[in-house]
Structure 1
Amino acid sequence: MQAKTQYLDNGIPVHLINAGGQPVLRVELFFKAGALIDPKLATSFFVIKMLREGTSTRNTHQISEYIDQYGAFIEFKPGPDRIGVIVYTLSKYLDKLLVLITELLNEATFPEKELDSFKNITRQNLLLNLKRNGFRASRKMSRVLFGRHPYGLDLTEAAIDEVSREDLQGFYHKYIKNNPCDIIVSGDANEEVLKVLNKYFGGINLSEFLLHPPKVVPTPMPSEQQLHLDVRENATQSSIRMGGLIFTKSHPEYSRFIILNEIFGGYFGSRLMSNIREDKGYTYGIYARVALLEQAAYYGIMTDVRKEFTQHTIDEIHKESKRMRTELVPEEELSLVKNYMSGTLTSTINSPFALADVFKGLHFHGLDYSFYDNYFEVLKNITPEDLMELANKYLRTEEMYEIVVGGK
Structure 2
Amino acid sequence: MTSATHRTAEEIGRTPKGPRPLPPLGTQRAAADLSHVDTVLSNGLRVLAVRKANVPMVELRLWIPFAGTELTHAAKAEVLAETLLTGTARRDRIAIDTELALIGADLGAGVDPERLIVSGNTLSNGLPTFLDVLADSLTGASYVDAEVGRESERLVERLAIARTQPRTIAREALQKHRYGDHPVTRETPEAEDVAAVTPEQVRALHAGSVLPRGAVMVVVGDVDPDKVIADIEKALQGWASDKPAVRLPELPELAGGQVLLVPRAGAVQSQIRLSAQALPRTDPRYAALQMANLAFGGYFSSRLVENIREDKGYTYSAHSGFEFTGGSAVVNVEADTASDATAAAVLETRYELGRLGLVPPTAEEVESVRQYAIGSLVTSTASQTGLAGQLSALAPDGLGVEWLAEHPNRLARVTADDVAQAALDFFAPKRFTGVIVGDADLLAKKLTALGDVIVGEPGPAES
State if a TM-score over 0.5 links the two structures.
Answer: yes
Aligned counterpart in structure 1 of residue 173 of structure 2, from 136, 140, 147: 140
Per-residue CA deviation, residues 185-244 of structure 1 (Å, 9 max, x unaligned), is 11111144334323312x3373xx325696682653869972211222221111110113
**Partner residue in 2 for 1:102:** 135
**Partner residue in 2 for 1:152:** 185
**Partner residue in 2 for 1:69:** 102
Structure 2: where are the runs of 5+ without partners? Answer: 1-32, 444-463
Aligned counterpart in structure 2 of residue 304 of structure 1, from 332, 336, 343: 336
Q: d(CA) in 1 for partners of 2:367 and 2:253?
A: 39
Q: Bigger CA drift: 146-155 or 259-268? A: 146-155
**Partner residue in 1 for 2:235:** 200
Q: Bigger CA drift: 258-267 or 67-76? A: 67-76
- Alpha-carbon shift at residue 179 of structure 1 (Å): 5.7
SS at match of 1:104: helix
Task: Supply the AA of the counterpart residue of 1:359.
Answer: L
- Alpha-carbon shift at residue 293 of structure 1 (Å): 1.4
Give the 3 Å change call, closer, same or farther, for CA 222–351 of structure 1 in structure 2: closer
| C-alpha RMSD of matched pairs (Å) | 2.7
Q: d(CA) in 2 for partners of 1:180 and 1:222?
A: 26
8 A contact 1:238–1:406 mirrored in 2: yes
8 A contact 2:84–2:143 mirrored in 1: yes
Per-residue CA deviation, residues 251-284 of structure 1 (Å, 9 max, x unaligned), is 2322211110100000011111101000001111
**Partner residue in 1 for 2:207:** 173
Q: d(CA) in 2 for partners of 1:98 and 1:41?
A: 27
Give the 3 Å change call, closer, same or farther, for CA 264–218 of structure 1 in structure 2: closer
Q: d(CA) in 2 for partners of 1:41 and 1:92?
A: 37
Per-residue CA deviation, residues 81-125 of structure 1 (Å, 9 max, x unaligned), is 322222311122222223322221122121222222222222221
- Alpha-carbon shift at residue 168 of structure 1 (Å): 0.9
- Alpha-carbon shift at residue 169 of structure 1 (Å): 0.9
SS at match of 1:320: helix
**Partner residue in 1 for 2:294:** 262
Q: d(CA) in 2 for partners of 1:29 and 1:399?
A: 35
Q: Could you tell me the TM-score, scaled by structure 1's length? A: 0.89
Q: How does 1:103-142 map to 2 (within 5 A)?
A: 103-142=136-175
8 A contact 2:66–2:245 mirrored in 1: no
Give the 3 Å change call, closer, same or farther, for CA 54–20 of structure 1 in structure 2: same
Structure 1: where are the runs of 5+ without partners? Answer: none
**Partner residue in 2 for 1:187:** 221
Aligned counterpart in structure 1 of residue 418 of structure 2, from 350, 372, 386: 386
Q: Bigger CA drift: 141-150 or 96-105? A: 96-105
Aligned counterpart in structure 1 of residue 284 of structure 2, from 240, 244, 252: 252
Q: d(CA) in 2 for partners of 1:375 and 1:193?
A: 27
Task: Supply the AA of the counterpart residue of 1:263.
Answer: A
Q: d(CA) in 2 for partners of 1:330 and 1:361?
A: 31
| 1:320 counterpart = 2:352 | yes
Give the 3 Å change call, closer, same or farther, for CA 389–120 of structure 1 in structure 2: same
8 A contact 1:134–1:405 mirrored in 2: no
Per-residue CA deviation, residues 46-98 of structure 1 (Å, 9 max, x unaligned), is 21221122222433233222322332111213233322222311122222223
Q: Bigger CA drift: 284-293 or 56-65? A: 56-65
Q: d(CA) in 2 for partners of 1:360 and 1:83?
A: 12
Task: Supply the AA of the counterpart residue of 2:61.
Answer: E
8 A contact 2:67–2:247 mirrored in 1: no
8 A contact 1:34–1:82 mirrored in 2: yes
Give the 3 Å change call, closer, same or farther, for CA 197–216 of structure 1 in structure 2: closer
Give the 3 Å change call, closer, same or farther, for CA 326–28 of structure 1 in structure 2: closer
Give the 3 Å change call, closer, same or farther, for CA 394–211 of structure 1 in structure 2: closer
**Partner residue in 1 for 2:375:** 343
- Alpha-carbon shift at residue 246 of structure 1 (Å): 2.8
Aligned counterpart in structure 2 of residue 45 of structure 1, from 74, 78, 88: 78
SS at match of 1:281: coil
**Greater Rg over alpha carbons, structure:** 2
Q: Bigger CA drift: 38-47 or 18-27? A: 38-47
| Count of residue correspondences | 405
SS at match of 1:41: helix
Task: Supply the AA of the counterpart residue of 1:102.
Answer: A
8 A contact 1:307–1:406 mirrored in 2: yes
Q: Could you tell me the TM-score, scaled by structure 2's length? A: 0.79
Per-residue CA deviation, residues 345-401 of structure 1 (Å, 9 max, x unaligned), is 122221233233332233211235554576444433434433333222211224421
Q: d(CA) in 2 for partners of 1:282 and 1:109?
A: 51
Give the 3 Å change call, closer, same or farther, for CA 278–215 of structure 1 in structure 2: closer
| 1:86 counterpart = 2:102 | no
Identity fraction in percent: 22
Q: How does 1:1-12 map to 2 (within 5 A)?
A: 1-2=33-34, 3-6=36-39, 8=41, 12=45
**Partner residue in 1 for 2:48:** 15
Q: d(CA) in 2 for partners of 1:177 and 1:38?
A: 21
Give the 3 Å change call, closer, same or farther, for CA 39–211 of structure 1 in structure 2: farther
**Partner residue in 1 for 2:365:** 333
Q: d(CA) in 1 for partners of 2:88 and 2:215?
A: 21
Give the 3 Å change call, closer, same or farther, for CA 43–400 of structure 1 in structure 2: same
8 A contact 2:183–2:248 mirrored in 1: no
Task: Supply the AA of the counterpart residue of 1:45.
Answer: E
- Alpha-carbon shift at residue 306 of structure 1 (Å): 0.5
Give the 3 Å change call, closer, same or farther, for CA 227–4 of structure 1 in structure 2: same
Give the 3 Å change call, closer, same or farther, for CA 96–381 of structure 1 in structure 2: closer
Aligned counterpart in structure 2 of residue 294 of structure 1, from 321, 326, 341: 326
